[in-house]
Amino acid sequence: DQGDGDSKDGGLLPDANGTDPTPPGQTEGSKWQKPRLTRKSLMKCCLVKWIIASTTQQGPDSCDNDLELSMVRHQPEGLDQLQAQTQFTRKELQSLYRGFKNECPSGLVDEETFKTIYSQFFPQGDATTYAHFLFNAFDIDRSGSIRFEDFVIGLSVLLRGSVTEKLRWAFNLYDINKDGYVTKEEMMAIMTSIYDMMGRYTLPNVRDDSPSEHVDRFFQKMDRNRDGVVTIDEFIETCQKDENIMASMQLFENVI
């Protein structure tokens, strides 16, 4: 696979006008709050890379008309509806769907697939636990599998959602037992799983900290009323007020 990063383009998710919308006046040091909707930022996401690799492997598709729905067991809701529910363009949705169908002909992703994806992208570590947590965050109805619709809706939030939407999603990931509270143990489990997956050498920001030190600092800031658990309100309020935490959240963005 030859360079995907800075080469012009490999026909990845071609959008309507083929240009990356970079608003004038927005500097390179732009904050996390204002993610630019570039193709490059899309490709940072492992799940997107996985899908796009799948579609480019099979070459340009012959049938470029509407989605071929007859093959899948779980057909996605109308494309129009998904377009309304996500921040993706119609073309992007079609690309994503084509790749998805290629990888998951049944129309569903299961946890094993997530584990395979993340061990491919992070071969130096153990991605099993992280993939498990991430899968559970996508699997909203706890059915053990993710439909294409839920998959792209999740991706849309993660890649193009507002800050609050992203934080809500992150909170849901951290809240492992989904009881509405994040405990220190849960945060520790997530952080450890990320460390396990990436290996600490690839994470300059946290290289000097142990996961528990990292978590302790996070937790102290977030548990504002000191009752031992973090609520969604505490989480969002703290994250929005604290630039350091926001910066740390970028770390999390790199492992989606």
Residue ranges that bind Ca ion, judged by CB under 5 A: 175, 177, 179, 181, 223, 225, 227
Instruction: Centre a 10 Å sphere on the Cβ of residue 165 and count the other Cβ atoms it contains.
Output: 14
Over 17-59, what HEC string results?
Answer: CCCCCCCCCCCCCCCCCCCCCCHHHHHCCHHHHHHHHHHHHCC
Q: How far is the CB of 229 from Ca ion (least distance, A)?
A: 5
Nearer CB in complex with Ca ion: 150/223: 223
Cα(118)–Cα(182) distance, rounded to whole angstroms?
A: 24
Closest to Ca ion by CB, 121 or 219: 219
Amino acid at 6: D
CA 22, 24, 30, 32 torsion-angle sign:
negative
CA-based nearest residue to 235, from 221, 248, 247: 221
Q: Give start and end residues of each alpha helix (H) in the chain.
A: 39-43, 46-57, 79-85, 90-103, 111-121, 128-138, 148-160, 163-174, 184-198, 211-222, 232-241, 243-253
Minimum CB distance to Ca ion smaller for 143 or for 177: 177
How far apart are CB 137 and Ca ion at their closest, in Å?
12
Instruction: Work out how close the CB of 218 gets to Ca ion at its nearest, in angstroms, rounded to a whole number.
Output: 13
Between CA 5 and CA 137 the distance in angstroms is 28
Closest separation between CB of residue 182 and Ca ion, Å?
A: 6
Nearest to 160 by CA among 37, 44, 68: 37
Q: Closer to Ca ion at the Cβ: 111 or 223? A: 223
Q: Closest CB to Ca ion among 15 and 223?
A: 223
Question: In terms of CB distance, is 86 or 238 closer to Ca ion?
Answer: 238
Task: Report in angstroms how near the CB of residue 223 gets to Ca ion at its nearest.
Answer: 4
Residue closer to Ca ion (CB basis): 77 or 179: 179
Element (H, E) at 109: strand 108-110
**Is the backbone of residue 108 left (phi > 0), alpha (psi -120 to 50) or beta?**
beta
What's the closest the beta carbon of residue 222 comes to Ca ion, in angstroms? Answer: 8
* Smallest distance, Ca ion to C-beta of residue 194, A: 18
Tally the C-alpha atoms within 13 A of residue 244's C-alpha that lie toward its C-beta: 7
- CA-based torsion, 225, 229, 233, 234: positive or negative: positive
